[in-house]
Amino acid sequence: MTFDPLQLRAFLAIVSTGSLGRAAAQLHVTQPALSRTVRRLEAVVGAPVFERHSRGMQLTTIGAALLPHAELLQRSAEQAAEEINALRGLSKGTIRVGAVGSIACLALPLAIGSVLKKWPNLKVYVIEGVWDRLAEALVKHEIDLALGVAADSTDDVIAISDCRWNDRSHVVAAIDHPLRSRKPPLRLADTMDAPWAMLPRGTGPYEHMRQVFAAHGLGVPNVVVETRSITVLKSLVARSGFLSWMADSIYDAERRAELVDALDIPGAMGARTLTAFRRRHGLLPGPAVQLLDELRALTAGPA
Query: What CATH number did the domain enclosing 74 receive?
Result: 1.10.10.10
* 172 and 263 housed in the same domain: yes
* 247 has a pLDDT exceeding 60: yes
* 158 and 222 housed in the same domain: no
* 157 and 196 housed in the same domain: no
pLDDT of residue 83: 64
- Answer whether 100's CB lies under 8 Å from 129's CB: yes
What is the average pLDDT across 30-34? 91
What is the average pLDDT across 129-156? 89
Residue range 8-28, pLDDT digits in tens: 889 999 998 888 888 899 888
Helix (H, G, I), strand (E, B) or coil at 156: coil
pLDDT of residue 111: 93
Q: Which of 49, 70, 87 is the last residue of a domain?
A: 87
CA distance 171 to 246: 7
- 3-state SS, one letter per residue, for 258-298: CCEEECCCCCCCEEEEEEEEEECCCCCCHHHHHHHHHHHHH
Quickly list H helices, the chain. 5-17, 20-27, 31-45, 61-87, 101-105, 107-118, 131-139, 204-215, 230-240, 252-256, 286-300
The CATH number for 114's domain is 3.40.190.10
What is the average pLDDT across 183-210? 92
Q: Which of 87, 106, 137 is the last residue of a domain?
A: 87
* 112 and 194 housed in the same domain: no
* 112 and 256 housed in the same domain: no
* 61 and 190 housed in the same domain: no
* 16 and 140 housed in the same domain: no
* 274 has a pLDDT exceeding 70: yes
CA distance 213 to 205: 12
In angstroms, what CA-CA distances link 86 with 33, 78, 93, 143?
33, 12, 5, 17
Helix (H, G, I), strand (E, B) or coil at 196: strand
Q: How many domains does the chain have?
A: 3
What is the average pLDDT across 104-124? 88
Q: Fill in the DSSP letter of residue 250.
A: T
- 112 conformational bin, left if phi > 0, alpha if psi -120 to 50, beta if neither: alpha
CA distance 274 to 13: 39
Average pLDDT value for the chain? 88
* 46 and 73 housed in the same domain: yes
pLDDT of residue 89: 53
Residue range 43-101, pLDDT digits in tens: 999 999 998 887 778 899 999 999 888 888 877 777 676 666 655 554 467 899 999 88
* 188 and 98 housed in the same domain: no
pLDDT of residue 239: 95
More confident residue, 132 or 265: 265
Q: Which of 48, 67, 87 is the last residue of a domain?
A: 87
Residue 154, amino acid: T
CA distance 186 to 180: 8
Q: Give Cβ neighbours of residue 46 (< 8 Å, ≥ 6 apart).
A: none
* 177 and 226 housed in the same domain: yes
pLDDT confidence band for 244 (50 / 70 / 90): very high
**292 lies in which domain range?**
94-165+273-300
pLDDT confidence band for 133 (50 / 70 / 90): confident
Specify the pTM: 0.65
pLDDT of residue 82: 64
Residues found in the chain: 303
Percent of the chain with pLDDT over 70: 94
